[in-house]
Structure 1
Amino acid sequence: MPATTPPDPAAAPARGGGSTLVGIGLMCLAVMSFAVTDATAKWLGGHTSILIVVWSRYVIHFALSLIVFNPWTVPGLLKTRKPGLQLLRSALLFSTTALNFFALQYLQLDQTVSIMFSAPFFVALFAGPLLGEWIGVKRWAAILVGFAGILLVTQPGQGIHWAALFCLGAAITFALYGITTRMLAPHDPSPTTLFYSALVGTVAATLPLPFVWVTPTEPMVYAAMLELGAVAGAGHFLLILAHARAPAATLAPFIYIQILAMVALGWLLFGDVPSLWTLAGACIVVGSGIYLLVQERNERRRPAPMPPAMPPDLP
């Protein structure tokens, strides 16, 4: 998933005294971690059940969360002011992971990442009715151009696998996940939100496990399962560190390094070469996404309008 794959939007805001260059470096490591996560999930899907793949991603992440956040010494970690919203956000992230991992079994890495990067367009669409943040004509145009890029990648009617619909569904749930994270930000601290993500995902993935479990016979499968959860969890923690050292607006463009990493891993590990249509569509999606980022940054820098002058008192 994108480091919007989404990375994690719950990452802490930048604090003073941090190094911007260090933050950018950590961001690059984070997005490459997510690329490795998807590549590992694709490989594992050919050797075991996809539900086992999802479970291994969450259970190792949860174990890392226990070590990092240590809820036994932080009694307030599980305390939330919005339990329903926490559960919804965690369920959306779990759905994103499951849909994305399923699509990875049938699509190339470059195809899935190009479709998943449509998530910012859905965020812009949903932010109006859900957050009251309505977009203007320029952003609507960027969204339409971005969706045209997605059509180039998916090429409906030209034989692309129907699993592309699962990938598109993952982009939608990831966008909603980002919006619910913003809703939670004023109420719960980032460690609480991150811990709930790992906890709920682990429980949801464990429930069907007795019905689908098949004991792997290859040691490499066990190693890949451990690596999947460890790298995914490390990616989320790297995002937190990156956002603690550099502003989000500075880090945002670097998420697109994930596309390059996914293309490289797809070629090295699976022999997948992206088609010209996929490359063209990915460029359009990236260009539209960067345009949306620039527009948002400009709007934040724009000074608020002055209040109208009061008429002078009449005698």
Structure 2
Amino acid sequence: MTEPVLAAHPHTPETSRTRLAAIALMCGAVLCFAMLDASAKWLSASMDPVQVVFARYAGSMALVCLLLNPWSHPGILRTQRPWLQAVRSLLLLGSTLLNFIAVKYLQLAETVSIMFAGPLLVALVSGPLLGEWPGPRRLIAIGVGFVGVLVITRPGFGGMHPAALLSVLGCVCYSFYSLATRKLAAFDPPETTMVYSGVAGTLAMLPLIPFFWTMPQSPLVWLLMLATGVLGGFGHWLLILAHRLAPATVLAPFIYSQIVWMIALGWFAFGQWPDRWTFVGATIVIASGLYLLYRERVRHVPEGSARLD
């Protein structure tokens, strides 16, 4: 007999404190990612997004290598799945590049609302790729969530810049990146995966930089370029710490708090406020994602069954 997921984690004062710490770390991580996107949008006004992506990866790699290196962590570069590490790193790079190009033309709240569809796509493709088949209620929730994406992008109605398609493609890349990360978790520690992400992304961008480089014209631009790397690397480090303290089903709902920061930063830094369709679509997408998390937490999985209900 299989116990419910919730029963596997007794609620003690120590557990509650640990989970509160993990939730705080998760909220700190999404704040870093919101500030990263805002910095990328600001920098894209004076340089090509390719240069911004390079700055994000090079800065992140430098930070990560200071904390995680073969001297302080012997064997950290040892991986059991090098090809999967490479594919995962390129998927993350593709998602970052597409998102940075899109955010140049779209509001911050619009891009993050589209990216929130990532868990819906992960749930949809987990069946054929991982054998985790969604049941009818989860399929309905996934369908409703994708309707929310259509409300945000409004294809064919002229309501949004065509760059929204890049954001959708970035969401697809990020979804497969998430699946690759789940697969790698069974073979390599997260620190190894984090190092490979930074190194692979930086090396992949290096050949492109001579064609897109624009010399920064002020110390503020240099500072923000450095900040993109620090925010990206530090944000992922906070994610690792958070997931060590609490399960993903506890932390995942707080990912959606990022939209609060994105709306606030969009208004404060760029004077942009989402229209009503973005609010409606984001609400639909977030509600669908939260329902999927709810089903994940309360489901009963019979022994020998691979179907998630």
Q: Name the TM-score, length of structure 2 as normaliser.
A: 0.91
Partner in structure 2 of residue 83 of structure 1: 82
Unaligned runs of 5+ in 1: 1-15, 308-315
- Cα drift, residue 49 of structure 1: 1.4
Q: Which amino acid aligns with 1:233?
A: G
Please give the per-residue CA displacement for 1:11-42, whole angstroms capped at 9, x wherever unaligned: xxxxx977111111111111111000000000
Quote the residue 1:230 is aligned against: 230
Distance apart, 1:303 and its partner CA: 5.7
Aligned-partner residue type, residue 151 of structure 2: L
Quote how far apart the aligned CAs of 1:306 are: 9.4
Number of residue pairs aligned between Structure 1 and Structure 2: 290
Q: 3-state SS of the aligned residue for 2:80?
A: coil
2:31 pairs with 1:32: yes
Does the 8 Å contact 2:33/2:231 carry over to 1? Answer: yes
Offset, 1:76: 1.2
Give unmatched runs, 5+ long, in structure 2: 1-13
What residue is the counterpart of 2:184 in the other structure?
A: 184
Whether the aligned pair in 1 keeps the contact of 2:249 and 2:296 (CA below 8 Å) is no
* Separation in 2, partners of 1:96, 1:303: 33
What residue in structure 1 maps to residue 44 of structure 2?
45
Shift of 1:74: 3.0
SS in structure 2 at match of 1:195? helix
Contact 2:36–2:228 at 8 Å: present in 1 too? yes
Q: Deviations over 1:77-114 (max 9, x none)?
A: 11111111000000000000000000001111111011
Q: Give the CA RMSD over aligned residues.
A: 1.6
Q: Establish whether residue 100 from structure 1 lines up as the match of residue 99 from structure 2.
A: yes
Offset of 1:73 from its aligned partner? 3.9
Q: Check if 1:124 corresponds to 2:127.
A: no
The one-letter code of the counterpart of 1:271 is G
Which structure has the larger Rg over C-alpha atoms?
1
| In 1: Cα distance, 2:304 partner to 2:67 partner | 46
Q: Which runs of 4+ in 1 moved over 4 A?
A: none
Opposite residue 127 of structure 2, the aligned amino acid is G
Structure 1 73/261 Cα, relative in aligned 2: closer, same or farther at 3 Å? Answer: closer
Indicate the SS of the match to 1:105.
helix
Instruction: Report the more deviating stretch, 211-220 or 58-67.
Output: 211-220
| 1:132-158: CA deviation from partner (whole Å, max 9, x where unpaired) | 111111111001110111111101122
Could you say which residue in structure 2 is the equivalent of 1:218? 218
Cα drift, residue 75 of structure 1: 3.5
